[in-house]
Structure 1
Amino acid sequence: MARIYPFRALRYDTSKVKMEDVVTQPYDKITPAMQQAYYDRSKYNLIRVILGKREPDDTDAFAPDAASTPQHNVYTRAAESLTSWRKKAILREEAEPALYGYSQTYTVPGTDEVRERRGFIALGQLYDYADKVVYRHEQTFPKHKSDRLALFKATRAYCEQIYMLYSDPAFTAEKLIFDNGSQADLSITDEYDVVHRVWRLTDPHLINLIVTAMADKKLIIADGHHRYETSVTYMKERAAELGQAAAATTTDEDDESPSNRAEEPHSLLPKPAFPEAAMMMTFVNMDAPGITILPTHRVLFGLKDFNTQAFLARAEEFFEITPVATPDLEPLRTSAGVAFIAVTADGNHLLTAKPEAMAKTLADLGVSPRQAALDVVQLHTIVLERLLDLTHESIAGVENIRYLREATEAVEQVRTGSADIAFLIRPVTLDQLRDISLSGDVMPQKSTDFFPKLLSGLAIYALD
């Protein structure tokens, strides 16, 4: 069962800071230029916690002797910033445990269509994937998880949310949260012109209705695989120290986390057995309108002796190859079956998969039928690994590959010589993601790009 919990969030005091100046995009979507802009925006911007600048004399948090050596690095500075802001009451702890309604109104990139995505922020119990409560949809990068674990341990706080999908055709939570006429207590616009609104929900009866409505749900990670898996690791470490089951739930008042302390009548609300047993999440109903998935294009660089004609000759075994005048996405929108656009310094080509050749090779490689039907799986398995001779390990290590949202940026990197070849692809559909996840399969890294991202800094879950 999916257990969710209200919590006493740390939130910025809007009488002391302007929210637009202190919130950020998720850490893995922040470029160096964005990082600097966030630093310049405010000395209280959350960037100093979630993705601080490295300094020349930083110690190595992962060195063998790190535990016995005084540390000064991005992780210690993150902890110092968070502690300082709490002492100054820049961040204040809420008086009551709450859930938080969260809506995002945005224009779909490349169109004039305006959508609203609705959900709510709460703590979610952490589970192993084997428990079949939480499901992943894509693979992760090992080095990102070690970085997040070091940050979590240093700060003892979760500053960013996991984006979770669930299914509820009756829209139970949405009706309880958004159909009662209440006004949002926060509304801000981010750098992508997305309007974010937050509703603070403290009524114990309402909270328990939502908790009950979510109890039978299966959860699919949309964004935040690295943070989720890192949080599970941290939970297990803490459970071992405490000598108790990780998935236990309590309603007593012994919880050591200030984010979970409660007074009557809130003491009857559910709480995780210990702070690390849960993570802050935003829950979004995938049966509701408003969800947008964008493609993530692949750019390859540093390929040894790359030659366009040699690549196309090899690709003919698996693809019909058609030259296209311009590297735009329109041919993909009208192509039946799996297709990509390959952009090189020598021109642009539409690659349309030959179903028979693909099916046989993918089956021989042990790729499941569900995965074999996906554009991104055929791109990684056939094109990247077989035709371009990249290894699974080099792709996981991000050695010769970049992942970009904007097709124009991918094309520009090829045109300027900083990349050998770019592959423009179509997005995975929500139905494909659901089928892959619930079947226990996973897609390659960066297979989806949900838009817009959840803002970091709207609420913080303090572990102590």
Structure 2
Amino acid sequence: MRLFPFRALRPVPDLVSHVAAPPYDVVDTEQARRLAAGNPFSFLHVSRAEIDLPAGTDPYSEAVYEHAATVFREFVRRKFFVRELMPCIYVYLQQKGNHRQFGLVGCCHTDDYVDGTIRRHELTRVEKEADRARHTKAVAAQGGPVFLMYRGKREIDALVESAVAREKPLYDFTDEDGVRHAVWRAPDPAAVEAAFREVPRAYIADGHHRAAAYVKTGAEMKAANPAHRGDEPYNRFLAVAFPAAQLRILPYHRCVRDLGGLSGGEFLERLGKAVRVERTGGPPDLSDGECGMFFGGSWHRIVLPVPQEADPVLRLESSILQDRVLGPILGIRDPRSDPRIGFAGGVGPSELERLAAGGEAAVAFAMRPVSVEQVMAVADAGLVMPPKSTWFDPKLRSGLLIHTLS
């Protein structure tokens, strides 16, 4: 794969903790509005520009994209950002509690996405791709990096360690969720670039819609440029590449709002014929092929029949639960679109109990987190994960390092 240095536009150090913001797609409009309230520097004013427009504004209206471009230009004019003099690659540390992960920030080539060097595990929705593509073209910048992972290489680890040991961090701050973010310039970007040429492939961990939008924007700008050379900024997209072994995936639970017309007794009877059910005194410790269930005020362990298929998707617990329970018993035929099912990512059993007690879930299924190896196996097979399978934590920040297209 290719990871290129770039001349980042980045916040001045005194403002970085105010500018850097959660990704646009982990907050809705009201959450973004609350997070940005009283903070005129937040990148959410760019990435979720509808928060500055009248309540009820369609977030996909042209006015929103125009406002995003206006705000971004104003941020630049008011010198919230500085421009690197030379192309750089950056080391990016995220630390949450005892968990630490070191990534390298640079630009990937859109061709590596198109030809499958950068692999996907998730379907994208056309309307969400179109939204970010319109936003990217309006702002002429990529402020949210694509979150990549790769099978680690000792040579790259050594370059990261050298940068952290030798260089003073450009930034080092803790966000509102208690996540530490630190950024260093890699002292030898050419060495990093050369080391990544020995990485055969990378995988999108998070940011499938962002990646698709950046590639779409690049293709459109290429088609509109009769003097296209191939080295224009639109041929590349902003990314952070982490060694897969350093990453943490949290569970993504399933919450079903009703029993699809079944009584509680009927549900348990049919469930017992499909899977093995064991009542437990509390949230169960889970092994391979198991999930938890909170129903009727009690916790249960569900032992799922794991098929001997070679298909890595069919062996996922979320797939087995869908095929054995959610579909045939509860009538959830398409979990991507059925309004009766909700998903709770990165939370513990107490949150599932709260959702059930509040009437938001008639039954909640506690899932084990998938592994990075499972995700990469699915992508290598050219398949897609079931919806809401991966909750990578912590999330990247937007507005921290920006790749401009002009």
Same fold (TM over 0.5): yes
Q: Give the corresponding residue for 2:247.
A: 291
* Amino acid across the alignment from 1:292: R
SS at match of 2:172: strand
Task: Report the Cα offset of residue 304 of structure 1.
Answer: 4.1
CA contact (8 A) 1:298 1:410 kept: no
Change (3 A) 1:193 1:56: closer
Task: Work out which of the residue numbers 167, 188, 206 in structure 1 matches 2:151.
Answer: 167
Compared CA separation, residues 234 and 383, structure 1 to 2 (3 A): farther
The residue number in structure 2 matching 1:372 is 314
Shift in Å, 1:443: 0.8
Aligned partner of 2:395 in structure 1 is 453
Separation of aligned partners in 2, 1:227 and 1:387: 36
- Which residue of the partner structure matches residue 103 of structure 1? 93
- Check whether the contact 2:332–2:338 (CA below 8 A) recurs between aligned residues: no
Unaligned 5+ segments in structure 2 are none
Q: Distance in 1 between matches of 2:103 and 2:276?
A: 43
User: Structure 1 residues 279 and 398, CA, compared in 2 at 3 Å: closer, same or farther?
Assistant: farther
Q: Does 1:242 align with 2:225?
A: yes
Partner of 2:45: 48
1:397 aligned onto 2:337 = yes
Matched residue type, 1:374:
L
Q: Which amino acid aligns with 1:400?
A: R
**Correspondent of 1:281 among 221, 233, 239:** 239
| 1:186 paired residue number | 171
Distance 1:352 1:24, change over 3 A: same
Distance, in Å, in 1 between the alignment partners of 2:272 and 2:123 is 29
| C-alpha distance in 2 between matches for 1:164 and 1:45 | 24
2:209 is equivalent to residue 209 of structure 1: no
Alignment match, 2:141: 157
How far is 1:382 from its partner? 3.2
Aligned to 2:123, what secondary structure does the other structure show?
coil
> Residues 30 and 306 of structure 1: is their aligned pair in 2 closer, same or farther, counting only changes over 3 Å?
farther
Instruction: Provide the C-alpha distance between the structure 2 equivalents of 1:244 and 1:285, rounded to a whole number of angstroms.
Output: 38
Q: Does 1:81 align with 2:71?
A: yes
1:379 Cα deviation after fit: 2.4
Letter in 2 for 1:373: R
Counterpart contact for 1:341–1:424, Cα < 8 Å: yes
1:250-303 CA deviation, whole Å, 9 max, x = no partner? xxxxxxxxxxxxxxxxxxxxxxx222221100011225xx32111111222266
Q: What residue in structure 2 maps to residue 223 of structure 1?
A: 206
**CA gap 1:412/1:160 in 2 versus in 1, 3 angstroms:** same
User: What's 1:9 paired with?
Assistant: 8
Paired position in structure 1 for 2:103: 119
Give 3-state SS (helix, strand or coil) of 1:209's partner: helix
The aligned residue for residue 317 of structure 1 is 273
Does the Cα contact within 8 Å between 2:258 and 2:362 map onto a contact in 1?
yes
Would you say the 8 A contact 2:305–2:320 is kept in 1? no
* Amino acid in structure 1 at the alignment position of 2:7: R
Partners of 1:275 and 1:106 lie apart in 2 by 33
The change in CA–CA distance for 1:59 and 1:415 in structure 2 (over 3 A counts) is closer
Amino-acid identity (%): 25
CA distance in 1, matches of 2:214, 2:133: 7
Aligned in 2, Cα 1:313/1:274: closer, same or farther, shift over 3 Å? farther
Query: Following the alignment from structure 1 to structure 2, what is the Cα–Cα distance between the partners of residues 91 and 153?
Result: 20
Aligned to 2:122: 138
The more displaced of 217-226 and 20-29 is: 20-29
Q: TM-score scaled by structure 1?
A: 0.79
2:349 is the counterpart of 1:435? no
Q: How many angstroms does 1:8 deviate by? A: 1.2
Q: Compute the displacement of 1:216 (Å).
A: 3.4
Against the structure 1 CA distance between its residues 381 and 145, is the aligned structure 2 distance closer, same or farther, given a 3 Å change threshold? farther
Over the residues paired in the alignment, what is the CA RMSD in angstroms? 2.5
Q: How far did residue 417 of structure 1 move? A: 0.6
Compute the displacement of 1:396 (Å): 2.2
Q: How far apart are 1:129 and its partner, in Å?
A: 5.6
In structure 2, the residue corresponding to 1:283 is in which secondary structure?
strand
| 1:30 aligned partner | 27
Name which of 68, 72, 84 aligns with 1:94: 84
Match of 1:232 among 215, 231, 237: 215
